Chain A
């Protein structure tokens, strides 16, 4: 009995001590959250920074872009993260939430690009696709070839989509809707493909009264109405078919690579870094005449690529030790330069002028202003 009482008391004391310690003391490491796409790059920088300086290695959590910004904007203080990574730009609503929670000054840093690739096994022939092909193959509803009205996706093989493509079943492995990669894919590839149809493109630009006639023309039911045509357009372009042609393969991109090997007829959607690391097993498909290569993504010719960002709380820079050093490490040429180690990890560097601009912003801690 005595022993037990003692151990309970010890436990209580430890817990109590820990609580007081954290409340009273400051954090001595940088806390980073955010996008799983930026995660491999942020962790590499964090590790380099931690090992080459006397500071603690920053802690990097992979929470997804949205989750990261939510945590980031929840407040100022040691219990909130200092930096969040994002595979898209901060939204106005998120920015406003930050402002409302007392985070007045946010520094935006663009770090480079990430390409999303469609790839298949090396065992089969490489594919040459256009964004239109991708849209037609994967959208839930596509414009009918004759009437132009939206119908449930009738295509079963790639050849039906585009006669120049091989006669194999459409089978695409990709991330689930919760993934940032999926969002980016929908935005960059699917929207791009949808816009090749004149009516769809018009719908995207339409506002107010112009929306309804276009909807009737495309055969979209009234219930989908929004006075911003873009919303209606996005709803259609982002809807991916659910009849088995698109297979959700989970967030683990390694798994998709493995499945592609097992099934050479299927295509997979994942980040460029996974293609880069597994080039002996899978090959990227050409999209709109451009191969997913380092150069193609860097100069913007490969269409399915997106910028990567991170955001820093200015108020934390002077409080948490190591933020300045981490920023300096990330924006140094040996990290994000063309020959830098982040390029080795699969990140596509920005052109030199852009790098110079963001490096200068970081140095001056210029806050972001969103109108």
Chain B
């Protein structure tokens, strides 16, 4: 070749090498920035769409708990609807026409009568007294107050008419309208009325489902992982099992839903729409993931620990349970939590087993009909009422919060237990 010194050749190529490195770093960085931008866009659009759902308009109405309308002996079955209407008429005495009256009644949520009923049931002494009561405003009023309805549009083009706006303005002037924290969103079940629709029913459904999934999939998955990794003979059969587990982990979740329908509903006759069945389906879905992460966690434990235990005369099971498993546990927990988080966000398999349903009552057990958080989001997104749009986003926020919490727990557990003392 030539008589250049090796160092000169190295020097000559150095600039090019650094340039390449810089370019590579830049590409990586831009990929991160790009995906972060999408994330920020997603989160901010969800937040901007949904944060208003956390407060809710209320109207203060003077109510005379008229003994003529309320049967003291059986207040539960009294006509509280009439009581609300009567109170509204007293507040706006000049409304006389039938059509206008109907519009007037539309200001207050249909839930208003239930609010009054609950008050009377809690304190029967109210009957015969005057009270100023904050009642939930109708979703249209709420939307107007939040600025979603344009007052400048012609009357025919909006859900709320000029007279109604007039009444609302009057109420605002009298200090009879206020926003308050929408506690019902966190304590109610689903409802057709956006103003009284809440997430608790779906959250409880998700909770029961995940509890069943966890109780079943964690011990079974880890047992399977330990057996396959530590005890099973390495032969063709274990190879086949391993391939199948990996395949199962990649099977689309809807397939597990179909399986659940065929096995749990049609064969075992478990109840439709029950978190029990949902949990079983999600258990089958997460099991392969937990087995795989469990095996990886076991593999990552250094063999010297096993040897140390075996060297002092521990049996194989003792070596695994006393030494290997505790070291693998953080990894296994992380895997389980990530599996659970995936199960929490799953809605497709639930469609098949009837959990995509309108359920008002908050489930009290694993056989009660229930729905789940992602399903609730889907159902609200499909509802015609405008006010459900913001509730959909709010529900997404709740779901995301749970996911972040779960993944955060996974990270925390890993960092807490992973240090080798």
Contact = CB atoms under 8 A, between A and B. Distances in A.
Q: Name the residue in B106, B149, B220, B367 with the highest tally of chain A Cβ atoms < 10 Å from its Cβ.
A: B367
Contacts, number: 130
A57 interface: yes
Contacts of B385: 277
Given A48-B110, A279-B157, A280-B159, A22 B367 contact: yes
Interface string B233-268: 000000000000000000000000000000001001
Nearest to A273: B384
A11 B215 contact: yes
A60 B358 contact: yes
Given A7-B219, A277-B159, A59 B192 contact: no
B361 A57 contact: yes
A348 B248 CA distance: 48
B366 A14 contact: yes
Contact of A4 (B159, B219, B386): B219
Contacts of A43: 192, 358
Interface in A26-84: 27, 29, 31, 33, 36, 39-40, 42-44, 46-48, 50-52, 54, 56-57, 59-62, 78-79, 81
A341 B276 contact: no
A258 to B, nearest CB: 10
B96 to A, nearest CB: 17
The contact size tier of chain A is 35 or more
A288 interface: no
Given A43-B192, A254-B384, A341-B110, A57 B215 contact: no
Interface in B70-111: 76, 102, 106, 110
Contact of B149 (A48, A62, A280): A280
A42 B359 CA distance: 12
A19 interface: yes
Contacts of A79: 265, 269, 271-272
A195 interface: no
Contact of B215 (A10, A23, A27, A50): A10
21 contacts: A7-B215, A8-B220, A11-B219, A19-B270, A47-B358, A54-B76, A57-B359, A57-B361, A60-B357, A61-B354, A61-B357, A78-B271, A79-B272, A122-B157, A253-B384, A276-B384, A277-B386, A280-B157, A339-B102, A341-B110, A346-B384
Q: Name the residue in A54, A56, A283 with the highest tally of chain B Cβ atoms < 10 Å from its Cβ.
A: A56
A44 B193 CA distance: 8
Contacts of B395: none
A4 B223 contact: yes
Q: Which 3 residue pairs across A and B have the least CB separation, nearest first?
A: A57-B360, A60-B358, A43-B358
A345 B138 CA distance: 13
A145 interface: no
A196 interface: no
Interface of B: 76, 102, 106, 110, 114, 149-150, 153, 156-159, 189, 191-193, 212, 215-216, 218-220, 222-223, 265, 268-274, 276, 280, 321, 354, 356-361, 366-367, 369, 379, 381-386, 389
Q: Name the residue in A59, A78, A345 with the highest tally of chain B Cβ atoms < 10 Å from its Cβ.
A: A59
Contact of A279 (B102, B159, B189, B265): B159
A18 interface: yes
Contacts of A10: 215
Nearest to A43: B358
Q: Name the residue in A18, A19, A22, A271 with the highest tally of chain B Cβ atoms < 10 Å from its Cβ.
A: A18
Given A4-B223, A31-B272, 9 more contacts: A1-B321, A8-B220, A18-B366, A43-B192, A46-B360, A56-B361, A278-B384, A280-B149, A283-B157
A307 B386 CA distance: 25
Contacts of A155: none
A15 B212 CA distance: 9
Contact of A345 (B106, B192, B366): B192
Nearest to A53: B77
Nearest to A272: B384
B158 A279 contact: yes
Nearest to B110: A341
B276 A252 contact: no
B273 A21 contact: no
A42 B357 CA distance: 11
A299 to B, nearest CB: 19
Given A40-B192, A40-B384, A62-B356, A22 B159 contact: no
B383 A40 contact: yes
